[in-house]
Amino acid sequence: MNSNETHFCTVCHSTMKPKKKYKGSFATEIVVWLVCLLLAPFTFGISLLIAIFFSASRQFSKSLVCSVCDSLNIVPKGSPAARSYLDKTNLSTN
């Protein structure tokens, strides 16, 4: 078993290395930055703070998802939930 596979998906029942997924789109962030840069001279830079805050909130809102099916319903492989699933399917966690 690959040691990189740290999480277990309770939806597609696969062990995998989860992906990081950001909430909101990158395109939205670009638009926010462009608008805030354009408005910066008129708002004495306050709009830049808004853009920085927007980017920061996106960084903090990232979540781990299943790399197979994009589900948020993943648990660490060693957790009791994962073990009970793996026991049902007769797979060993080691």
Q: In one letter, which amino acid is 92? A: S
- Dihedral angle sign, alpha carbons of residues 9, 13, 16, 22: negative
For the segment 26-65, give every residue that binds Zn ion (CB under 5 A): none
- Dihedral angle sign, alpha carbons of residues 74, 79, 83, 85: negative
Map tokens 């793996």 to a residue. Answer: 86
Is 9 one of the binding residues for Zn ion (CB under 5 A)? yes
Q: Which stretch binds Zn ion (CB under 5 A): 1-9, 21-29, 30-38, 76-84?
A: 1-9
Please work out the total of residues on this chain that contact Zn ion, with binding judged by CB under 5 A.
Answer: 7
Map tokens 């957790």 to a residue. Answer: 79
Q: CB-wise, 32 or 65, nearer to Zn ion?
A: 65
Is 12 one of the binding residues for Zn ion (CB under 5 A)? yes
User: Interface residues with Zn ion (CB under 5 A)?
Assistant: 9, 11-12, 66, 68-69, 71
